[in-house]
Amino acid sequence: MNLGILVSGRGSNLQAIIEAIQKGILRNRIALVISDKEGAQAIERCEKYRLAHRVIKREDFKKKEDFELALAGALREAGVELVVLAGFMRVLSPLFLQSFPMKVINIHPSLTPAFRGLRAQGQALEYGARITGCTVHFVTEELDNGPVIAQACVPVLPEDSEETLSQRILEHEHRILPQVIKWISEGRLRVEGRKVWVEGARYGTLPFNPDLEDF
Ligand code: GRF
Protein backbone atom coordinates (compact mmCIF):
# COMPACT_ATOMS: atom_id res chain seq x y z
CA MET A 1 0.00 0.00 0.00
CA ASN A 2 1.26 3.43 -0.92
CA LEU A 3 1.39 5.73 2.07
CA GLY A 4 0.83 9.46 2.21
CA ILE A 5 2.06 10.95 5.47
CA LEU A 6 0.95 14.34 6.73
CA VAL A 7 3.19 16.08 9.25
CA SER A 8 3.63 19.46 10.92
CA GLY A 9 6.72 19.13 13.08
CA ARG A 10 9.37 16.82 14.46
CA GLY A 11 8.41 13.73 12.49
CA SER A 12 9.50 11.04 14.95
CA ASN A 13 6.48 8.93 13.99
CA LEU A 14 7.44 9.35 10.35
CA GLN A 15 10.91 8.13 11.34
CA ALA A 16 9.39 5.05 13.01
CA ILE A 17 7.56 4.22 9.76
CA ILE A 18 10.73 4.74 7.71
CA GLU A 19 12.66 2.40 10.01
CA ALA A 20 9.96 -0.27 9.91
CA ILE A 21 10.14 -0.19 6.11
CA GLN A 22 13.93 -0.34 6.17
CA LYS A 23 13.84 -3.34 8.50
CA GLY A 24 11.43 -5.07 6.12
CA ILE A 25 8.66 -5.25 8.73
CA LEU A 26 6.49 -2.95 6.64
CA ARG A 27 6.28 -3.54 2.93
CA ASN A 28 4.77 -0.16 2.19
CA ARG A 29 6.11 2.61 0.07
CA ILE A 30 6.03 6.20 1.29
CA ALA A 31 4.66 7.82 -1.86
CA LEU A 32 4.48 11.36 -0.48
CA VAL A 33 5.05 13.30 2.73
CA ILE A 34 3.24 16.60 3.04
CA SER A 35 4.11 19.18 5.68
CA ASP A 36 1.92 22.18 6.32
CA LYS A 37 4.91 23.91 7.94
CA GLU A 38 8.02 25.14 6.26
CA GLY A 39 11.23 24.14 8.06
CA ALA A 40 9.64 21.24 9.94
CA GLN A 41 12.16 18.69 11.22
CA ALA A 42 10.11 16.06 9.40
CA ILE A 43 11.22 17.63 6.10
CA GLU A 44 14.88 17.13 7.03
CA ARG A 45 14.09 13.45 7.52
CA CYS A 46 12.50 13.34 4.04
CA GLU A 47 15.64 14.86 2.57
CA LYS A 48 17.88 12.43 4.45
CA TYR A 49 15.94 9.41 3.21
CA ARG A 50 15.15 10.90 -0.22
CA LEU A 51 11.41 10.71 0.23
CA ALA A 52 9.08 12.62 -2.07
CA HIS A 53 7.82 15.56 -0.06
CA ARG A 54 5.94 18.81 -0.42
CA VAL A 55 5.08 21.77 1.73
CA ILE A 56 1.45 22.82 1.37
CA LYS A 57 0.56 25.66 3.72
CA ARG A 58 -2.90 26.68 4.86
CA GLU A 59 -1.90 30.35 4.64
CA ASP A 60 -1.41 30.04 0.91
CA PHE A 61 -5.12 29.45 0.39
CA LYS A 62 -8.02 31.78 1.11
CA LYS A 63 -10.39 28.96 1.91
CA LYS A 64 -9.77 25.84 3.97
CA GLU A 65 -11.65 23.99 1.25
CA ASP A 66 -9.03 24.88 -1.35
CA PHE A 67 -6.20 23.92 0.99
CA GLU A 68 -7.77 20.51 1.50
CA LEU A 69 -8.42 20.03 -2.21
CA ALA A 70 -4.74 20.74 -2.80
CA LEU A 71 -3.76 18.15 -0.16
CA ALA A 72 -6.13 15.52 -1.57
CA GLY A 73 -5.03 16.26 -5.14
CA ALA A 74 -1.35 15.88 -4.32
CA LEU A 75 -1.97 12.62 -2.47
CA ARG A 76 -4.09 11.21 -5.29
CA GLU A 77 -1.53 12.22 -7.88
CA ALA A 78 1.14 10.37 -5.90
CA GLY A 79 -1.02 7.23 -5.88
CA VAL A 80 -1.58 7.29 -2.12
CA GLU A 81 -3.85 4.55 -0.77
CA LEU A 82 -3.58 5.18 2.97
CA VAL A 83 -3.21 8.60 4.57
CA VAL A 84 -1.37 8.70 7.89
CA LEU A 85 -1.59 11.78 10.09
CA ALA A 86 1.65 11.70 12.04
CA GLY A 87 1.71 14.86 14.11
CA PHE A 88 -0.36 16.82 11.61
CA MET A 89 -1.72 19.73 13.59
CA ARG A 90 -4.86 20.47 11.59
CA VAL A 91 -8.42 19.23 11.64
CA LEU A 92 -9.51 17.84 8.29
CA SER A 93 -13.05 18.41 7.11
CA PRO A 94 -15.44 15.89 5.52
CA LEU A 95 -14.45 17.30 2.15
CA PHE A 96 -10.98 15.81 2.53
CA LEU A 97 -12.12 12.68 4.32
CA GLN A 98 -14.58 11.82 1.54
CA SER A 99 -11.64 11.57 -0.86
CA PHE A 100 -10.17 8.74 1.26
CA PRO A 101 -13.09 7.02 3.01
CA MET A 102 -11.86 4.96 6.00
CA LYS A 103 -8.37 5.40 4.66
CA VAL A 104 -7.15 8.18 6.97
CA ILE A 105 -5.63 7.29 10.34
CA ASN A 106 -4.20 9.42 13.13
CA ILE A 107 -1.96 8.88 16.14
CA HIS A 108 -3.03 10.72 19.29
CA PRO A 109 -1.10 10.78 22.59
CA SER A 110 -3.92 9.76 24.94
CA LEU A 111 -6.36 6.93 25.38
CA THR A 112 -9.28 8.42 23.47
CA PRO A 113 -11.95 9.52 24.16
CA ALA A 114 -10.03 10.98 27.12
CA PHE A 115 -7.88 14.06 26.61
CA ARG A 116 -8.59 14.89 23.02
CA GLY A 117 -7.13 17.96 21.33
CA LEU A 118 -3.90 19.76 22.10
CA ARG A 119 -1.46 18.94 24.92
CA ALA A 120 -3.10 15.58 25.62
CA GLN A 121 -0.19 14.52 27.84
CA GLY A 122 -0.41 17.75 29.87
CA GLN A 123 -4.18 17.30 30.17
CA ALA A 124 -3.67 13.80 31.59
CA LEU A 125 -1.13 15.10 34.13
CA GLU A 126 -3.32 18.02 35.19
CA TYR A 127 -6.35 15.78 35.51
CA GLY A 128 -4.45 13.42 37.80
CA ALA A 129 -4.93 10.36 35.59
CA ARG A 130 -2.86 7.38 36.72
CA ILE A 131 -2.89 5.76 33.31
CA THR A 132 -2.79 7.35 29.90
CA GLY A 133 -1.30 6.25 26.59
CA CYS A 134 -1.79 6.60 22.88
CA THR A 135 -4.36 5.70 20.27
CA VAL A 136 -4.37 5.04 16.56
CA HIS A 137 -7.82 5.74 15.19
CA PHE A 138 -9.66 6.32 11.95
CA VAL A 139 -10.11 9.99 11.31
CA THR A 140 -13.67 11.25 11.28
CA GLU A 141 -15.09 14.76 11.46
CA GLU A 142 -14.91 14.69 15.24
CA LEU A 143 -11.53 15.74 16.61
CA ASP A 144 -9.45 12.78 17.85
CA ASN A 145 -12.54 10.63 18.23
CA GLY A 146 -12.80 8.24 15.29
CA PRO A 147 -13.09 4.46 15.73
CA VAL A 148 -10.15 3.16 17.77
CA ILE A 149 -7.86 0.70 15.99
CA ALA A 150 -5.17 0.22 18.64
CA GLN A 151 -4.22 1.68 21.99
CA ALA A 152 -1.27 1.28 24.30
CA CYS A 153 -1.39 2.36 27.91
CA VAL A 154 1.35 4.07 29.85
CA PRO A 155 1.46 4.78 33.59
CA VAL A 156 1.62 8.35 34.87
CA LEU A 157 4.35 8.51 37.50
CA PRO A 158 4.36 10.90 40.47
CA GLU A 159 7.57 12.54 39.28
CA ASP A 160 6.40 12.97 35.68
CA SER A 161 6.61 16.27 33.88
CA GLU A 162 4.79 16.85 30.61
CA GLU A 163 8.09 16.12 28.85
CA THR A 164 8.89 12.82 30.58
CA LEU A 165 5.34 11.57 30.17
CA SER A 166 5.28 12.61 26.49
CA GLN A 167 8.54 10.79 25.90
CA ARG A 168 7.28 7.58 27.52
CA ILE A 169 4.08 7.72 25.47
CA LEU A 170 6.04 8.46 22.29
CA GLU A 171 7.91 5.15 22.54
CA HIS A 172 4.56 3.40 22.30
CA GLU A 173 3.35 5.64 19.48
CA HIS A 174 6.33 4.44 17.50
CA ARG A 175 5.16 0.86 17.99
CA ILE A 176 1.42 1.06 17.49
CA LEU A 177 1.39 3.35 14.45
CA PRO A 178 3.55 1.09 12.21
CA GLN A 179 1.71 -1.94 13.57
CA VAL A 180 -1.64 -0.53 12.49
CA ILE A 181 -0.26 0.36 9.06
CA LYS A 182 0.82 -3.25 8.75
CA TRP A 183 -2.57 -4.61 9.79
CA ILE A 184 -4.38 -2.32 7.35
CA SER A 185 -1.99 -3.22 4.54
CA GLU A 186 -2.60 -6.89 5.23
CA GLY A 187 -6.36 -6.28 4.99
CA ARG A 188 -6.90 -7.53 8.52
CA LEU A 189 -9.21 -4.87 9.94
CA ARG A 190 -12.87 -5.60 10.40
CA VAL A 191 -14.92 -2.49 11.08
CA GLU A 192 -18.41 -2.67 12.58
CA GLY A 193 -19.60 0.86 13.25
CA ARG A 194 -17.27 2.22 15.91
CA LYS A 195 -15.77 -1.19 16.65
CA VAL A 196 -12.62 -2.26 14.90
CA TRP A 197 -11.19 -5.74 15.22
CA VAL A 198 -7.99 -7.17 13.85
CA GLU A 199 -8.40 -10.59 12.24
CA GLY A 200 -6.25 -13.19 13.94
CA ALA A 201 -4.99 -10.88 16.69
CA ARG A 202 -4.68 -11.94 20.30
CA TYR A 203 -6.86 -9.77 22.52
CA GLY A 204 -7.07 -9.26 26.22
CA THR A 205 -3.48 -8.79 27.34
CA LEU A 206 -2.36 -5.51 28.79
CA PRO A 207 -0.69 -3.18 28.02
CA PHE A 208 -1.63 -3.72 24.41
CA ASN A 209 -5.06 -4.19 23.03
CA PRO A 210 -4.73 -6.19 20.87
CA ASP A 211 -1.29 -7.68 21.36
CA LEU A 212 1.20 -6.22 18.95
CA GLU A 213 2.79 -8.79 16.74
CA ASP A 214 5.67 -7.00 15.10
CA PHE A 215 6.69 -4.06 17.27
C1 GRF B 1 2.84 12.92 18.66
O2 GRF B 1 2.81 12.96 20.05
C3 GRF B 1 1.49 12.55 18.10
O4 GRF B 1 0.78 11.67 18.92
C5 GRF B 1 0.78 13.88 18.07
O6 GRF B 1 1.78 14.80 17.69
C7 GRF B 1 3.06 14.30 18.06
C8 GRF B 1 3.88 14.23 16.82
O9 GRF B 1 5.20 13.85 17.05
N10 GRF B 1 -0.36 13.83 17.19
P11 GRF B 1 6.18 13.58 15.85
O12 GRF B 1 6.11 14.80 14.93
O13 GRF B 1 5.74 12.33 15.14
O14 GRF B 1 7.54 13.44 16.46
- 135 CA distance to ligand 1 centroid (A)? 11
Q: What is the pTM of this model?
A: 0.96
46 Cβ closer than 6 Å to some ligand 1 atom:
no
* Cα(2)–Cα(23) distance, integer angstroms: 17
Answer whether 41 contacts ligand 1 (Cβ < 6 A).
Answer: no
Tell me, using a 6 A CB cutoff, whether residue 37 lines ligand 1: no
How high does pLDDT run on average in the chain? 96
Burial (CB < 10 A; 0-12, 13-18, 19+), residue 59, is exposed
Residue 203: pLDDT over 90: no
Q: Show the domains of the chain with their CATH numbers.
A: 1-101 (3.40.50.170), 107-215 (3.40.50.170)
Q: In percent, how much of the chain has pLDDT > 90? A: 92
Substitution site in 8, 173, 175 for ligand 1 pocket (most atoms within 8 Å of beta carbon)? 173
Nearest CA to ligand 1 atom 8: 87
